[in-house]
Amino acid sequence: MAKMNPFEMFLKQVDEAMPYLNVEQEYIDILKEPKEVLEVAIPLKLDDGTVQIVKGWRAHHNNALGPYKGGVRYHPNVSREEVTALSAWMSIKCATAMLPYGGGKGGVRVSPHDLTKNELERLSRAYAMSIIRFTGTDIDVPAPDVYTDPQIMSWFIDTYEKIKGRNEPSCYTGKPVGLGGSLGRGDATSRGGMYVLREALREIGLLGKPLTAAIQGFGNVGSNAHKLFGEIGITVVAASDSKGGTYNPKGLDYAALIAHKKSGGTVADYPEGERITTDEILESQVDILIPAALEGVLTEANAGKVKAKTILELANGPTTPAAEQILHDNGAMVIPDVLANSGGVTVSCFEWIQGRSGDYWSEKTVHDKLDERLSMAFHEIWEIRKQHKIRMRQAAYVRAISRIVLAMRFRGIWP
Ligand code: NAD
């Protein structure tokens, strides 16, 4: 079978929710296309004086519920299809978390680790300028994603504000706290995942039992999951990044692994673990598997070898529809990305609210509001799942699409 691209995965996921939806076909047809996709070619002057043309995109999927919202990814494999799929997943995710947003996403086809800091700044400013007609507090609010961070958000917002000639703190989120960022944004995606996982374990009677986890991806999301998940009694026994992984059945010490990475080591050469590959980690003997790197890593080729009975999708789109069916048939539960990793965009929304009002919240307020919102979203989706006897992803799509279509019906189809 030919490999599905991420947008085809999204279309299939919508089709799988269709039998449980009570909505007119025309709205589904609208959701099956992005509203607009901007493609840019950026001439990047390198420090040695040569010029490289870098391709970038910003996709707007749907804005029935509010401004487009979604991260910007820097990665050598970024494509128009990937960015478009990610923007569609953002529409579903924002509706799942009951946020006043639609779905957007950006991507730049580049290997950021090959650039100097000055080159990265020039590229980031050029990208923010190229998409400026697409962005703004009430239009489209970008944020960090793979290989972008608060420093890059700072260059984005500075470029935007200087060109517009005004201060506009909520036109980007994921900023450093010293530049209008929110407390609690740094680990929000992983923390939100922890709250969702805690509620899932409560429902299936495993909360409080000694459980093990493997985490694929050791960036912002994966490493913060490692830091936090001990709070709900989970021992992380395997972790990996793009260069490989490490396994220790007694558990990996978070502080020691981070110190090892900071001193120039890699996850794979961590001395307190046994070396494993980026693929082997997915088949680890653990209770919980946490993909936290890129999409399409669980496929029909490896899903049958997954031993974990709970898969928490902190990455976007890590499980293909065929893999999800295999996992389901084998008795595993997939907690889908649109719910599991919605903590990041939820705290981005909190940052957006704080920037608009000038009223900045304590970290405890951010954590409490995040917990309340995601626990509620989880239980509503859990009820839909039980009512129709469907998978969690189908239930999340039923809830999200119903909400988006309700807003679209009120608006009417115009122009
Ligand atoms: P990041 O750039 O901080 O980290 C990505 C990590 O993945 C790195 O450790 C990298 O080495 C690793 N990686 C890349 N290819 C790999 C491979 N083949 N095997 C194992 N590891 C590999 O990115 P991030 O912000 O942590 O995002 C990770 C995932 O979470 C992405 O799918 C992203 O879309 C999703 N996500 C992020 C946020 C957020 O707030 N940052 C929010 C929602 C979803």
The pLDDT tens digits for 22-49 are 999 999 999 999 999 999 999 999 999 9
For the record, the structure tokens of 283 come out as 């088949």
pLDDT at 1 over 70: no
Fold of 188-340: Rossmann fold (3.40.50)
Quote the pLDDT of residue 2: 61
Q: Where are the beta strands (DSSP E) in 261-404?
A: 274-276, 288-291, 310-312, 333-335
Q: What is the mean pLDDT of residues 336-353?
A: 98
Q: How many helices, marked H, and strands, marked E, lie in the chain?
A: 13, 12
Ligand 1 mean position, distance from CA 48 (Å): 30
- Which atom of ligand 1 is the closest one to the Cα of 293? 7
Q: Ligand 1 atom 36: the closest Cα is on which residue? A: 315
* Total count of residues recorded for the chain: 415
Quote the pLDDT of residue 3: 74
Q: Where in the chain is the domain with CATH 3.40.50.720?
A: 188-340
Q: How many CB atoms lie within 10 A of CB 387?
A: 11
Ligand 1 mean position, distance from CA 241 (Å): 9
Q: Where in the chain is the domain with CATH 3.40.50.10860?
A: 32-173
Query: Confidence class of residue 4 from pLDDT cuts 50, 70 and 90?
Result: confident
CATH classification for the domain delimited by 32-173, as one of 3.40.50.300, 3.40.50.10860, 3.40.50.620, 3.30.420.40: 3.40.50.10860
305 catalytically annotated: no
CA distance 156 to 281: 35
Percent of the chain with pLDDT over 90: 98
Q: Mean pLDDT in the chain? A: 97
